[in-house]
Amino acid sequence: MLKSLKSTAVGFATAALMAGPAISEGHGGPYADYAGTTLIVNFPAHPHYDAVMKILPEFTKETGIEVEVDQLPYLKMRERQTLELGQDEGEYDLIAYVVFSKADYVYADQLENLAKYFMNPKLSDPGYDADDLIDGYVYNIGFAGGNKGYLQGKTGSLFGIPYGSETSILGYRKDIFEKHGLDVPETYDEMLDIACQIPQLEPGMGGVASRAASGHHASHAFLLHLAPLGGRVFDGEWNPIVNNAAGVQAANALKSIVDCGPEGAKNFGFGEALGAFLNGDTAMFLDTTVVAGQIDDPSKSQVVGKVGWALHPMGTRRGSQTGGFGIGIPANAENKEAAFLLMQWLTSKKGDKLVALAGGNPSRFSTHGDADVNAKFPHMATFGEALKHADPDWRPIIPVWGKINADLGTTLSKVLTEDLDIQEALDGVAERTRAVMEEAGYYTWN
Amino acid sequence: MSGAHKKQNSVFYVLIAVLVFMSVGPVLLMFVNSFKLDVDIIGGTTGLLFLPTIQNYETALCDILWYEPEHLDFCALKFGGSFINSLIIALISTGLTLVIGCMGAYALVRFRFMGRDTVSLTTLMVRMLPPAVLLVPVFGLWNNEFCLDKEGLIGGMIRESFGGRGDVCLAGTHSGIILIYVAMNLPFVIWILQSFIVQVPRSLEEAARVDGAGPFQVFFKVVLPLIKPGLAAAAIFTFRIAWNEYLLASALSDRDTKTVPILIVNNMSEFNVEWGVIMATGMLLAIPPIIFTLFASRQIITGMTAGAVKG
Amino acid sequence: MSIARVNRMTPYMFMAPAAVIMAIALIYPLGYMIWGSFRAWDPSQTIGEAEFVGLKNYVTLWNDPNFRESLGVTLKFAFFVVTFELIIGVGLALLLDRNIRGMSLLRTMFILPMMIAPVVVGLMWRYMYHPTVGTFNRTLESLGLPSVDWLGSHALMSVIIADIWQWTPFIFILSLAALQSLPRSALEAARIDGATAWQQIWYIKLPLMMPVLIVTGLLRLIDAFKVLEVILVMTEGGPGLSTEILALRISRTATEFRELGVAAAMSNYLLMLLLILTLGMFAFQRIQEARAARIRAAAEEDV
């Protein structure tokens, strides 16, 4: 009760503060009706959303809408959202969600369909230019109801907007590659080859920094290799094919990366893997694009200015990950219209550029090509190129995925630490996955 | 003879020094690291050759500082708020547990009544409950069952005067966390205090009763002052659990009622392990227990022995 | 008449607040949990909406290799932790049982680890175990020794070491207290009879301390099943399931896998295990008390 007292007091104070200038300065236009509203939003603790925190004051200044942010680590964020979205009336007006939460939320009817907001002339900004948003991400994060149920397609519609688009990219140490006359790897074979040469060329240094810790870290790292090597988790009929040749090859790739990796690589989460690269313990880094900001930050990084970027190496095809977050409006939110205004502002051309300049990951083609942004972050053009190869189907987005993902991650971690046979391990995953899918009703039509 | 004795003695003191180093070392390490920049921690500038900085503490405490630290773009951590939540929850739950607990212990020691054995046995049994076992039911009950309808009389009043949305539930409030902490700690407190109350001479109580004091007066005026050492010990242990607990608090708290342990675990976010800041928050969380240890170690030891030996 | 009624009501009035709170917040939730363990229960449902599935959750768990592995890890953890803590704690107590100046200061130092939040203990050790920047590997490196993959291939050992660090002092202090309250006369007599230090420990001190030791050990054993935060912060249960103790698995099942029913069933398994231990503790204590009384009487007779 005390806390409600506190938040109300804060609410009153801000309302009183905002009401004054909002009226006297005469905020006209679309935001006038909502000035003084306080939106409660749920964002992850993540470099992109740290950048968002820096630009939110700009939004408040412009619109008079206050934003209170509840920032949580993203697994926690999901737990919290599960609880909040299940209530009749929830606290959050706007949420950021991970891609695979999309399946759960849309399936349980907990996210607003955005059509009615974009149709509302009072809310929808005519200059928004939705075509400029990166296609793969809109389909991956925003759409539901199309092909396979979770992709774009004739039956699909929009439930969220990608915000904080990431893809995988290869960072490499220019100095090390130059010193030993190595070429930047284009293919998987080349990358694995160089990865295992590094420990001999530079004693004490590992090849590639990769996550591998039990759970979603290991699973993520595996899926990262699965798509470019030509594999998929399911075939067209939802049969698990994670144990086919491509799957085994991907697991082997992960294993050699970890074996030729830095000290302790078997138990690296994302933070440790990045830390190793920042500390100069590895020559390469293959993971999401969000790290660029930290690599250039001298208070965190020992490799400032030494890192070059290249596309995620090819296997049988190019297929980098589509990850990151989307933002959507919970069906049980209190201030849905104001929340839409915030969402539209954040993903507009202006907002996207602001967040990119603050160190975030832009979601628009135009921002990746923007001269100011490229002047500040020269890697942005490569990142834009990488986004074109982003594979929206690199991992399935179905409600039971959480369970399969946990199993996959635990099993792979056993492969890495306990030398479980790869084929046997993946066969086990496939078998258990089949049971999960059976129970969830995916084979009803077979 | 005395030479050998001396030698034995010096071996003995070396052993003690090693033990002290082992038990205090990690805490000191954390203390030292909390004054280093991340680059210094990770970069391996070993030893004590570094420039101490309070930057980590500034980052942690940014929401209650009177100035804005220069190195921060925005205040992400809000440690101050959590610290206040932790204080509120730990102090109130300790107070309640003590009052309720010693009344219960008194009843169990001094009176024979129907159901006494059942109560006594239940108390002992629930002392063994791991918090993890309570996680599922407490999560379910506090969120869904222990609620007041927002249309109802009291629920409506609460919503009207305090704001917020949805039915008025225990989850997400200080009271909700306090309730489960009081319940969790009661068995232990009753257990410890029993052994102290037994030692209060009955004659004193009877004398007071002859003077016309009622049972509650006897309890508060005669018994309570005599079991102060026991109360102190029980208070420290209760406070320690309420202050340090993570699991149940993380299931029950929302953004306004987060306690410090939750904040620390959350802050070990996978994207960015900021060792310096984490060590600073850890240090701040550890300060109250360290103070207790330094000033009340006698009571702690009394409590421990009473708790274990007087089963 | 009314005074008599008040008197009869007095114990109930004293007991009522504690009883009510424990009934609402401990007993009722336990019943609720048992009820829930028979259901397929999702966090977004209330318990009433969840489907009744009978014993399915229990059967699934029993056949689930992950659950069994986690149970195994829990038992291993508890066993090693308690064994080592008893050996080291009692050993130190026997070594340090003499009058030294500053003993109370020393004890203060030893209590410190116990009082610090498990979350903080976890993060300190996670830092010290860190493969490259951690204290241990840096020390090993500077000594020219190969570094150890603490939280990787030796994760269970590493979390056991952290727990031993935190809780050995508990056993040490209790054994020291027990040692110092032993009847001096018995020890005196033994010394006069020319018993060596070893003989004194083996035939007199240890048997006399035994009741306290067993209770302490069992208390630690029960507490070992409660450990969660330290491991959560250090390893999150990994790598694989190598440090995923039951308490952690319950919390993951409830929050990450979103299966409250299964988590409830798992809680019940853990509860049953602890119940057996607790009952064992009661029984042991009764037997030991009787035996200790006999030994003490015998020892005093000898004088």
- Fold observed for domain C70-302: MetI-like fold (1.10.3720)
Nearest CA-CA partner of C94 in C40, C167, C157, C172: C172
Q: Are residues A371 and A307 in the same domain?
A: no
Q: What is the mean pLDDT of chain B?
A: 81
In chain C, domain spans: 70-302
What mean pLDDT is predicted for residues C246-271?
A: 88
Note whether residue B166 is domain-resident: yes
Q: What is the pLDDT of residues B222-271, one digit of tens each?
A: 888 888 888 888 888 889 889 999 999 988 888 888 899 988 888 876 65
d(CA B132, CA C270): 10
Note whether residue B36 is domain-resident: no
**Using the beta-carbon criterion (under 8 Å), do A263 and C43 form an inter-chain contact?**
no
The total of structural domains in chain B comes to 1
Note whether residue A274 is domain-resident: yes
CA-based nearest distance C253→chain B, Å: 10
d(CA B209, CA B217): 9
Supply the DSSP string of A402-443, one letter for each residue. HHHHHHHHHHHHHHHHH---HHHHHHHHHHHHHHHHHHHTTT
CA-based nearest distance C231→chain A, Å: 14
Higher pLDDT, B307 or C64: C64
Q: Are residues A157 and A187 in the same domain?
A: no
Strands A38-44 and A66-72: parallel
CA-based nearest distance B306→chain C, Å: 10
Q: Are residues A119 and A256 in the same domain?
A: no
Q: Return the percentage of chain A with pLDDT > 70, whole number.
A: 93
Q: Are residues A310 and A368 in the same domain?
A: no
Q: What is the pLDDT of residues C83-129, one digit of tens each?
A: 999 999 999 888 887 777 777 788 888 888 888 889 999 989 988 88
HSE-CB for B143 with a 13 A CA cutoff: 28
Least confident of A276-285, B3-12, C212-221: B3-12
d(CA B174, CA B90): 10
How many CB atoms sit inside 10 A of residue C2's CB? 6
Q: Are residues A406 and A277 in the same domain?
A: yes
d(CA C235, CA A417): 14
Least confident of A168-182, A329-343, C3-17, C276-290: C3-17
Q: Return the percentage of chain B with pLDDT > 90, whole number.
A: 12
CATH number of the structural domain spanning residue B237: 1.10.3720.10
pLDDT at A22: 41
Neighbours of chain B (3+ CB pairs under 8 A): A, C
Supply the DSSP string of A207-269, one letter for each residue. EEE----TTHHHHHHHHHHHTTTT--SB-TTS-B-TTSHHHHHHHHHHHHHHHTSSTTGGG--
* ipTM given for this complex: 0.85
Note whether residue B28 is domain-resident: no
pLDDT confidence tier of residue A410, bands split at 50, 70 and 90: confident
**Using the beta-carbon criterion (under 8 Å), do B257 and A11 form an inter-chain contact?**
no
Q: Are residues A327 and A201 in the same domain?
A: no
Domain of A410, in residue numbers: 168-321+400-440
> Which residue reads 């996978």 in tokens?
B270
pLDDT at A25: 46
List the 52-91 stretch of B: residues with Cβ below 8 A of C.
none
Q: What is the mean pLDDT of chain A?
A: 85
- Indicate whether A23 pLDDT > 90: no
Q: Are residues A295 and A311 in the same domain?
A: yes
**Interchain CB contact of B148 with C (< 8 Å):** no
Q: What is the mean pLDDT of chain C?
A: 83
Which range has highest mean pLDDT (A313-322, B45-54, B89-98, C217-226)? B89-98
List the 180-239 stretch of A: residues with Cβ below 8 A of C.
213-215
d(CA B28, CA B23): 10
The residue count of chain C comes to 303
pLDDT confidence tier of residue A94, bands split at 50, 70 and 90: very high
How many CB atoms sit inside 10 A of residue A17's CB? 12
**Interchain CB contact of B143 with A (< 8 Å):** yes
**Interchain CB contact of A262 with C (< 8 Å):** yes
| Residues in chain C closer than 8 A to A266 (CB atoms) | 149, 152-153, 239
**Using the beta-carbon criterion (under 8 Å), do C7 and B240 form an inter-chain contact?**
no
The total of structural domains in chain A comes to 2
Domain of B149, in residue numbers: 78-309
Supply the DSSP string of C106-173, one letter for each residue. HHHHHHHHHHS-HHHHHHHHHHHT-TTTSHHHHHHHHTTPPP--TTTTTHHHHHHHHHHHHHHHHHHH
Higher pLDDT, B274 or C221: C221
Note whether residue B69 is domain-resident: no
CA-based nearest distance B177→chain C, Å: 11
d(CA C281, CA C219): 9
Q: Could you tell me which chain A residue has the CA closest to the CA of B273?
A: A271
d(CA C18, CA C27): 12
- Indicate whether A431 pLDDT > 90: yes
What mean pLDDT is predicted for residues A409-415?
A: 89
Note whether residue A393 is domain-resident: no
Q: What is the pLDDT of residues C149-194, one digit of tens each?
A: 788 778 889 999 999 999 998 888 888 888 887 877 877 888 888 8
Supply the DSSP string of B222-274, one letter for each residue. IIHHHTHHHHHHHHHHHHHHHHH--HHHHHH--TTT--HHHHHHHHS-TT---
Amino acid occupying residue C162: A
User: Least CB-CB distance to C131: which of A263, A403, A410?
Assistant: A263
pLDDT at B272: 60
pLDDT at A15: 44
Note whether residue A394 is domain-resident: no
What mean pLDDT is predicted for residues B35-40?
A: 79
Which range has highest mean pLDDT (B53-67, B202-216, B235-249)? B235-249
What mean pLDDT is predicted for residues A92-103?
A: 88
Note whether residue B1 is domain-resident: no
User: Least CB-CB distance to B24: which of C6, C112, C250?
Assistant: C112
d(CA A272, CA A265): 8
Q: Are residues A239 and A360 in the same domain?
A: no
**Using the beta-carbon criterion (under 8 Å), do A215 and C236 form an inter-chain contact?**
yes
pLDDT confidence tier of residue A107, bands split at 50, 70 and 90: confident
Report the run of H or E that residue A324 belongs to, with start and end.
strand A323-328
**Using the beta-carbon criterion (under 8 Å), do B135 and C254 form an inter-chain contact?**
yes
Q: Are residues A12 and A106 in the same domain?
A: yes
**Using the beta-carbon criterion (under 8 Å), do C152 and A417 form an inter-chain contact?**
yes
Interface size, chain A vs chain B, as Cβ–Cβ contacts under 8 Å: 102
CA-based nearest distance A126→chain C, Å: 38
Note whether residue B47 is domain-resident: no
pLDDT confidence tier of residue A19, bands split at 50, 70 and 90: very low
CATH number of the structural domain spanning residue A92: 3.40.190.10
Note whether residue B196 is domain-resident: yes
Note whether residue A446 is domain-resident: no
Note whether residue B13 is domain-resident: no
